[in-house]
Amino acid sequence: MNNYGKARDRLKMSVEDFRRGITRYLEGDYSDAVFRIQLSVEDACKSILSFLGIEFEKTHFPSVIIGKIISDKKMLKKLGLNKEQIKYLTLIISYASSLESQGSMPRYGWETEDRIIMPSEVYTANVARELLRSAIESLKNVIRFFNEFKGLSEDLSEVVEQLKKVVEDASGKIE
């Protein structure tokens, strides 16, 4: 599979998980909503890495890899990224990192000396809403990043457009 195919498939997974996350949020299942939107943003970041031809091992912190790329002048020159693309990557990681830092807490809670704090105790409507806003901002910049490339394949362009519609729809539902 080529880089564009991997990017397309990762972005499709991002769209699916974002839809699930919004549904869970609207149902009031905030911890699962955070888990889903976290996956969505991770896959969107991984789609960018695949698109750029960057090989990576399994990770839940793809924004760290993107951060290393944009701080490496030689790598930027090799990839031929312009200032706008770098700006979008910077914005993506600034929002994505807050989601990635949630780790496994949305699924498993937080174990203390006395008890396990359940995810539902941590992820209230307000916390989930703020994390969702970060996801939306990160994904908006993923869309902007991909739209900077005029020669995108049709199938990848279609998925970017799907992501745009899902993000726009979600923005209207959470405000």
Q: Tens of pLDDT along 105-135?
A: 778 888 889 999 988 888 999 999 999 999 9
pLDDT of residue 166: 97
pLDDT value of position 1: 54
Amino acid letter for position 162: Q
Q: For the segment 36-80, what is each residue's pLDDT rounded down to a tens digit?
A: 999 999 999 999 999 999 887 787 788 889 999 999 889 888 998
**Quick one: CATH architecture of 3-174?**
Up-down Bundle (1.20)
Strand partners, 110: 117
Q: Is the pLDDT of residue 150 over 90?
A: no
Distance CA 143, CA 158 (A): 11
Q: Are 34 and 40 in contact (CB under 8 A)?
A: no
Helices 3-27 & 30-51 angle (0-180, nearest 10): 170
d(CA 9, CA 126): 31
Least confident of 91-95, 109-113, 143-147: 109-113
| Domain locations in the chain as residue ranges | 3-174
Q: How far apart are CA 114 and CA 98, in angstroms?
A: 27
